[in-house]
Structure 1
Amino acid sequence: MEEQFILRVPPSVAERIERLLNEDPSSEEDKSLDLSFSENGRSGNFVIGNEHFPVSLLDLPCVVESYKTYDDSALVKTADIGQIIMVREPGDSAPDVVEYRHGLTPPMRDARKRRFRREPDLNPELVQRVEKDLLNIMSGGTIENADILTLNEQEEDADGNARNANKKVAPTAAPKQADVAEAEANAGAPERSDSEESDDSL
């Protein structure tokens, strides 16, 4: 896999880069092209010819795959692109965020807000308390500040459900007289096995 990024430049700079790539550099005034970053790795300078442009490195809201082809038939994935280098005009202000708001195509405009699931609204104190309780339980301890009323109500509900289950058990039906008589008749005569029947046949 290759390491790739997207370079987004103003239209005037894009024309100069296109001329530089398509024509002979020796006949072109803008034959120098350079990109350098400061120590923080998020801002720097883009140089083309004698002009300097400020740049910012931003994270894309989603990963973009890039492909290339050798035979105009099969595509080969070359990289996952997650960052974009924004070249600004000298007077433009630097963005105050690390993540770029939009994707690369019009449907991905404002992608983080329009297309991604919103983060749940959780109270940080509640999350910390639950995490602490879970760690206590895993280490063999008990929950601190447990709601005793809720636990007692749950126990009472469980006891009530057990009592109701005992009341709903149906009494066993008494055996019928015909079944009893048949059982007594069968008890008097011994059962014959298959071996005894074979002995009689001899």
Structure 2
Amino acid sequence: MEEQFILRVPPSVSERIDRLLSDEASTSDEIPLDLCFSEDGRSGTFVIGNEEFPASLLDLPAVVESYKTYDDCALVKTADIGQMIMVREAGDPAPNTVEYRHGLTPPMKDARKRRFRREPDLNPELVQRVERDLLNILSGRTIENGNEQQQEETVANENTNKKVSSTSSPATPVEKPEEEAPETGANNNNNPAEVEQERSESEDSDDSM
């Protein structure tokens, strides 16, 4: 595949280029042709002879196929052309955008506005709802059942979150009732005679050992 582009020039420049490409150009003085662009790659200068013309690189609204033939019967595709270099007179204004409005043929006049539909303004909520419906269909659920199940899952998740938050919150301390001392110990401590008897028994056991 070759790299090609469309060169559109004013009528005066077109006549001079035709003379250069004709058979008589070999006998005439050679006229230099040059095309240079600036750093942005969109604006440049077209030079023919001693004259300079401003040029702009524009994007066509559609891709144009280029063919060539050697026997006027078989066509061979050589390139896909999507850009055009427009050469204009020095006083003509430069194009505002890099996208050219028109095509190369009369039916493609103002093609970007007449033949290309505008991008629709979509609601983000509608896009999310359609996305959920598609996921439900792919998972084998119907749209209504899928929405109900999603709502149930959402409610269940909210309930679990509430339970987790309630368990994670510090519990209020509960006052425990005072434990009563065992009766035996209390009675032994309150009866001094029994205490003395226990002491004497322990002393007798020590003497016997």
TM-score tier (shorter)? 0.5 to 0.7
CA distance in 2, matches of 1:120, 1:70: 47
Q: Kindly state the Cα deviation for residue 4 of structure 1 after the two structures are TM-superposed.
A: 0.2
State how many pairs are aligned: 135
Q: Kindly state the Cα deviation for residue 99 of structure 1 after the two structures are TM-superposed.
A: 0.5
Relative distance call for 1:26 and 1:52 in structure 2 (3 A) is farther
What do residues 140-164 of structure 1 show as CA deviations (whole Å, max 9, x unaligned)?
xxxxxxxxxxx67x97xxxxxxxxx
In the other structure, the counterpart of 2:11 is: 11
Q: 3-state SS of the aligned residue for 1:120?
A: coil
Q: 3-state SS of the aligned residue for 1:16?
A: helix
Relative distance call for 1:26 and 1:36 in structure 2 (3 A) is farther
In the other structure, the counterpart of 1:75 is: 75
Q: 3-state SS of the aligned residue for 2:118?
A: coil
The letter of the residue matching 1:24 is: A
CA distance in 2, matches of 1:110, 1:70: 35
What do residues 26-50 of structure 1 show as CA deviations (whole Å, max 9, x unaligned)?
624x611100000000000000011
CA distance in 2, matches of 1:35, 1:67: 24
The letter of the residue matching 2:3 is: E
What do residues 72-101 of structure 1 show as CA deviations (whole Å, max 9, x unaligned)?
101000000000000010011111101100
In the other structure, the counterpart of 2:87 is: 87
The letter of the residue matching 2:86 is: M
- Is the contact between residue 25 and residue 31 of structure 1 (CA under 8 Å) also seen in structure 2? no
Relative distance call for 1:56 and 1:5 in structure 2 (3 A) is same
CA distance in 1, matches of 2:71, 2:6: 24
Q: 3-state SS of the aligned residue for 1:85?
A: strand
Q: Kindly state the Cα deviation for residue 61 of structure 1 after the two structures are TM-superposed.
A: 0.4
Q: Counterparts of 1:122-137 in structure 2 under 5 Å?
A: 122=122, 126=124, 130=128
CA distance in 1, matches of 2:52, 2:63: 29
Q: 3-state SS of the aligned residue for 1:27?
A: coil
The letter of the residue matching 1:102 is: H
The letter of the residue matching 2:80 is: D
In the other structure, the counterpart of 2:44 is: 44
The letter of the residue matching 1:79 is: A
In the other structure, the counterpart of 2:57 is: 57
What TM-score does the superposition give when structure 1 sets the normalisation length?
A: 0.60
CA distance in 1, matches of 2:69, 2:105: 22
Q: CA RMSD in A?
A: 2.7
What do residues 121-177 of structure 1 show as CA deviations (whole Å, max 9, x unaligned)?
235xx28x94xx98xx9xxxxxxxxxxxxx67x97xxxxxxxxxxxxxxxxxxxxxx
Relative distance call for 1:69 and 1:81 in structure 2 (3 A) is same
- Is the contact between residue 56 and residue 86 of structure 1 (CA under 8 Å) also seen in structure 2? yes
In the other structure, the counterpart of 1:27 is: 28
What TM-score does the superposition give when structure 2 sets the normalisation length?
A: 0.58
Q: Kindly state the Cα deviation for residue 25 of structure 1 after the two structures are TM-superposed.
A: 4.9
